[in-house]
């Protein structure tokens, strides 16, 4: 059985890969370089998608460290709250599917 992931539900594209990453790690902040590495996107694609997400308010600047900027999910935005709920529902389905496949010894 195929796993259900955020990107499979909402579409596989750089923007959604970045959103999925932030939803998974929603309490942490990251540099654009880290985001590119973790999502396996090139830096230019990551910068372009991040610019869009920042402009729309999904991602916000959290702090500046040693000349670099760190970003985090804007959990105060209404649409982000809905995405978090959706992501949690998707995770719940994955857990249920895993529990059905689990063999007890």
**What SS3 class is residue 11?**
coil
Beta-bridge partners for 64:
69
How confident is the model at residue 53, as a pLDDT?
A: 97
Convert the pLDDT of each residue in 8-64 to its tens digit.
Answer: 777 789 999 999 999 999 999 999 999 999 999 999 999 999 999 999 999 999 999
- One DSSP character per residue, 35-88 reads HHHHHT--HHHHHHHHHHHHHTTSEEEEEEETTEEEEEE-TTSHHHHHHHHHHH
What is the model's pTM? Answer: 0.82
Domains annotated on the chain, with CATH = 6-101 (1.10.10.10)
């Amino acid at each position: 059985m195929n796993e259900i992931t955020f990107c499979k539900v909402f579409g596989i594209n750089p923007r959604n890969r970045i959103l999925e990453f932030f939803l998974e790690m929603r309490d942490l902040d990251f540099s654009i370089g880290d985001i590119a590495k973790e999502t396996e996107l090139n830096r230019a694609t990551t910068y372009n998608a991040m610019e869009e997400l920042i402009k729309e308010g999904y991602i916000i600047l959290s702090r500046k460290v040693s000349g670099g900027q760190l970003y985090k999910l804007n959990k105060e935005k209404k649409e982000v709250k809905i995405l978090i709920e959706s992501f949690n529902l998707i995770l719940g389905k994955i857990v249920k599917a895993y529990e059905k496949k689990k063999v007890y010894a």
